[in-house]
Structure 1
Amino acid sequence: MFLNCHSYFSFKYGTMSIQQLIKEAQSNELKTFALTDINCTAGVFPFLQEMKKEHMHPVIGIDFRNGTQQQYIGLARNHHGFFSLNQHLSFYKKKKKPFQDRAPEWPHCAVIYPFPKDYFPLRNGEYLGLAPSQIKKALLSKWKDQKEKWVLLQPVTFCSQLSFNIHRLLRSMDLNTLLSKLPVSEQGQNTDRFTSKKELLKKCDGAEWLLENTLDLLYGCNFYQGYLPVENRKEIIGSEVEDYRKLRDETFKGALKRYGQLSEIQIQRIHKELDIIQQKNFVSYFLINFDLVTYARKKGFYYVGRGSGANSMVAYCLYITDVDPLELDLYFERFINLYRKNPPDFDIDFSWKDRDEIIEYIFNKYNSPENEHVCLLATHTTFQMNLAIRELGKVFGMPKTDIEALIQYAVQPGKYIPDKLGKLVLKYGQLIQGMPSHLSIHAGGILISQHPIHYYTATEIPPKGYPISHFDMVVAEEIGFSKFDILSQRGLGHIRDTLEIIQENQGKTIDIHQVATFKQDTKIKEHLRKGRTIGAFYVESPAMRVLLAKLKTQEYLELVAASSIIRPGVARSGMMREYVYRHRTPSERKKRANPVLYELMPETYGIMVYQEDVIKVAHHFAGLSFDEADILRRGMSGKFRSREEFERVKESFFKKSKAKGRGDNITREVWHQIESFAGYSFAKGHSASFAVESYQSLFLKAHYPLEFMVGVINNFGGFYRTEFYIHELRMNGADVQPPHINESNYLTKIVGKTVYLGFIHLKYLQKEIAEAILRQREVGGPFSSINDLINRVHISLEQLLILIRIDAFRFLPKSKQALLWEAHFILHKQNNRKPSPQLFGQVQYKDLKIPSLEQNDPREDILDQLDILEFPLAPPFLLLKNPDIPTIKAQDFKKFINRQVQIIGYLVTAKFTRTIKMETMIFGTFLDKEGDWIDTVHFPPVVKSHPLTGKGVYLLKGKITEEFDVCSLEVKYCERMAYWNAAAS
Structure 2
Amino acid sequence: MYLNCHSFFSLRYGTLSEVQLLDLAVDHKLDTIALTDINSTSAGLNFVRKAKEKKVKPVLGVDFRNRIEQCYVCLAKNNEGYLELNNFLAQHLHNKTNFPETAPSFKNAFTIYAFERALELDKTHFSENEFIGIGIHDLNKLRFSQYSTYHDKLVLLLPVSFNSKRDFNAHRLLRAIDLNCLLSKLPKEAQALPDELMFDPKKIENLFEEFPQILLNTQALLKQCSIDFKFAKERQNQNLKTVFGSEQKDYKHLLALCEKGLKERYDEITPKIRERLERELTLIKKKDFVSFFLINWKIIEYARSQDYFYVGRGSGANSIVAYLLRITDVDPIELDLYFERFLNEYRSSPPDFDIDFSTWDREDVTAYIFREFGKNNQVALLGSYVTFKHSGAVRELGKVFGLPKTEIDKLSSGQFNVSDLDSIAQLILKYAAYFHKKPNYLSIHAGGILISDRPIHYFSATHLPPKDFPTVQFDMHIAEDVGLCKFDILGQRGLGKIKDAVSIIKKNQPEAQLLDIRNPKPFFKDPKINAMIARAECIGCFYVESPAMRMLLKKLAVSDYQTLVAASSIIRPGVAKSGMMREYILRHRNPERRKEAHPVLWNIMTDTYGIMVYQEDVIKVAHHYAKLTLDEADVLRRGMSGKFRSRAEFQYVQDKFRSNCIANGEPEEVVNEIWRQIESFAGYAFAKGHSASYAVESYQSLYLKCYFPLEYMVATLNNGGGFYKAEFYVHEAKMHGATIEPPCINKSQIETTIYDKTIYLGFQHLEGLEKKTMLNIINNRVHAKYTSYDDFIQRVPVSLEQQELLIRIGALRSLGKDKRSLLWEAHYKENTIPENELQQSFFKISLHDFTLPKFHISQYEDAFDYMELLGFSLFNPFFLMKESPHKYILARELPEYIDQQVKVAGYLVTCKNTKTAKGLRMNFGTFLDFEGAWLDTVLFPEVAQRSAIYARGLYHIEAKVTTEFDFITLEVSKIKRLPYITDPRFATSPSDTKTHSLKTGS
TM-score bracket relative to the smaller structure: over 0.9
- 1:809 is matched with 812
**For 1:918 and 1:165, how far apart are their aligned partners in 2?**
37
SS of the aligned residue for 2:8 comes to: coil
- 1:796 is matched with 799
Instruction: From 104, 111, 123, give the equivalent of 2:127.
Output: 123
- Aligned pair in 2 of structure 1 residues 417, 612: CA closer, same or farther (>3 Å)? farther
- 1:510 is matched with 515
Whether 2:582 is the aligned partner of 1:583: answer: no
Amino acid in the other structure paired with 2:37? D
Amino acid in the other structure paired with 2:575? V
Instruction: From 425, 432, 439, give the equivalent of 1:422.
Output: 425
Whether 2:349 is the aligned partner of 1:342: answer: yes
Deviations along 1:119-142, one digit per CA (max 9) or x if unpaired, are 212111111111112112022112
Structure 1 stretch displaced more, 263-272 or 450-459:
263-272
- 1:398 is matched with 403
- 2:617 is matched with 613
Deviations along 1:792-834, one digit per CA (max 9) or x if unpaired, are 0111111111110000111233221111001111114857553
SS of the aligned residue for 1:511 comes to: coil
Cα RMSD (Å): 2.0
**For 1:812 and 1:635, how far apart are their aligned partners in 2?**
66
Amino acid in the other structure paired with 2:589? R
SS of the aligned residue for 1:116 comes to: helix
**For 1:834 and 1:133, how far apart are their aligned partners in 2?**
65
SS of the aligned residue for 2:705 comes to: helix
Instruction: From 282, 285, 305, give the equivalent of 1:278.
Output: 285
**For 1:414 and 1:858, how far apart are their aligned partners in 2?**
51
Structure 1 stretch displaced more, 456-465 or 162-171:
162-171
Deviations along 1:32-88, one digit per CA (max 9) or x if unpaired, are 111111111111111101110011111111111111111111100000000000000
- 2:491 is matched with 488
| Alpha-carbon contact 2:735-2:932 (below 8 Å) kept | yes
Deviation for aligned residue 1:171: 1.7
Amino acid in the other structure paired with 1:76? A
**Which runs of structure 2 are paired with 1:724-873 in the superposition (5 Å)?**
724-779=728-783, 781-828=784-831, 830=833, 832-834=835-837, 838-839=841-842, 841-850=843-852, 853=855, 855-873=856-874
| Alpha-carbon contact 1:83-1:455 (below 8 Å) kept | yes
| Alpha-carbon contact 1:797-1:828 (below 8 Å) kept | no
- Aligned pair in 2 of structure 1 residues 577, 206: CA closer, same or farther (>3 Å)? farther
Structure 1 stretch displaced more, 856-865 or 650-659:
856-865
**Which runs of structure 2 are paired with 1:231-630 in the superposition (5 Å)?**
231-368=238-375, 371-409=376-414, 418-507=421-510, 508=512, 509-591=514-596, 593-630=597-634
Deviation for aligned residue 1:418: 4.6
Structure 1 stretch displaced more, 143-152 or 80-89:
143-152
Deviations along 1:839-863, one digit per CA (max 9) or x if unpaired, are 5x4212222243565x223222122
- Aligned pair in 2 of structure 1 residues 708, 885: CA closer, same or farther (>3 Å)? closer
**For 1:571 and 1:392, how far apart are their aligned partners in 2?**
40
**For 2:885 and 2:388, how far apart are their aligned partners in 1?**
51
| Alpha-carbon contact 2:26-2:54 (below 8 Å) kept | no
Deviations along 1:177-202, one digit per CA (max 9) or x if unpaired, are 22222222221122111111111123
- 2:3 is matched with 3
- 1:957 is matched with 958
Whether 2:85 is the aligned partner of 1:85: answer: yes
| Alpha-carbon contact 1:305-1:321 (below 8 Å) kept | yes
- 1:674 is matched with 678
- 2:46 is matched with 46
Deviation for aligned residue 1:175: 1.7
Deviation for aligned residue 1:114: 1.2
- 2:159 is matched with 155
Deviation for aligned residue 1:836: 5.3
**For 2:237 and 2:400, how far apart are their aligned partners in 1?**
42
**For 2:280 and 2:311, how far apart are their aligned partners in 1?**
21
**For 2:161 and 2:743, how far apart are their aligned partners in 1?**
59
Deviations along 1:415-444, one digit per CA (max 9) or x if unpaired, are 996554333333222221111111111111
SS of the aligned residue for 2:463 comes to: coil
Deviation for aligned residue 1:959: 2.0
- 1:189 is matched with 193
Deviation for aligned residue 1:717: 3.8
Amino acid in the other structure paired with 1:253? K
Deviation for aligned residue 1:226: 13
| Alpha-carbon contact 1:80-1:226 (below 8 Å) kept | no
- 1:70 is matched with 70
Instruction: From 650, 654, 662, give the equivalent of 2:654.
Output: 650
Whether 2:923 is the aligned partner of 1:906: answer: no
Amino acid in the other structure paired with 2:897? F
SS of the aligned residue for 2:913 comes to: strand
Aligned length: 977
Amino acid in the other structure paired with 1:21? L
SS of the aligned residue for 1:103 comes to: coil
- 1:102 is matched with 102
| Alpha-carbon contact 1:78-1:225 (below 8 Å) kept | no
| Alpha-carbon contact 2:8-2:15 (below 8 Å) kept | yes
- 2:138 is matched with 134
- Aligned pair in 2 of structure 1 residues 963, 261: CA closer, same or farther (>3 Å)? closer
- 1:892 is matched with 893
**For 1:30 and 1:498, how far apart are their aligned partners in 2?**
65
- 1:60 is matched with 60
SS of the aligned residue for 1:561 comes to: helix
Deviation for aligned residue 1:367: 1.8
Deviation for aligned residue 1:495: 0.7
Deviation for aligned residue 1:521: 0.9
| Alpha-carbon contact 2:22-2:56 (below 8 Å) kept | no
**For 1:825 and 1:833, how far apart are their aligned partners in 2?**
19
Deviation for aligned residue 1:636: 1.1
Deviation for aligned residue 1:25: 1.9
SS of the aligned residue for 1:407 comes to: helix
**For 1:609 and 1:75, how far apart are their aligned partners in 2?**
51
- 1:112 is matched with 112
| Alpha-carbon contact 2:542-2:698 (below 8 Å) kept | yes
**For 2:621 and 2:958, how far apart are their aligned partners in 1?**
46
Structure 1 stretch displaced more, 577-586 or 49-58:
577-586
SS of the aligned residue for 2:371 comes to: helix
- 2:998 is matched with none
SS of the aligned residue for 2:782 comes to: helix
Unmatched tracts of structure 2, length 5 or more = 989-1002
| Alpha-carbon contact 1:925-1:934 (below 8 Å) kept | yes
- 1:946 is matched with 947
Deviation for aligned residue 1:229: 6.0
**Which runs of structure 2 are paired with 1:679-718 in the superposition (5 Å)?**
679-718=683-722
**For 1:884 and 1:711, how far apart are their aligned partners in 2?**
32
Structure 1 stretch displaced more, 488-497 or 883-892:
883-892
**For 2:173 and 2:521, how far apart are their aligned partners in 1?**
59
Deviation for aligned residue 1:944: 2.5
**For 2:134 and 2:952, how far apart are their aligned partners in 1?**
64
| Alpha-carbon contact 1:791-1:835 (below 8 Å) kept | no
- Aligned pair in 2 of structure 1 residues 169, 944: CA closer, same or farther (>3 Å)? farther
| Alpha-carbon contact 1:406-1:418 (below 8 Å) kept | no
SS of the aligned residue for 2:829 comes to: helix
- Aligned pair in 2 of structure 1 residues 407, 894: CA closer, same or farther (>3 Å)? farther
TM-score after normalising by structure 2: 0.95
- Aligned pair in 2 of structure 1 residues 223, 620: CA closer, same or farther (>3 Å)? same
- 1:639 is matched with 643
SS of the aligned residue for 1:397 comes to: coil
| Alpha-carbon contact 2:878-2:885 (below 8 Å) kept | no
- Aligned pair in 2 of structure 1 residues 837, 89: CA closer, same or farther (>3 Å)? closer
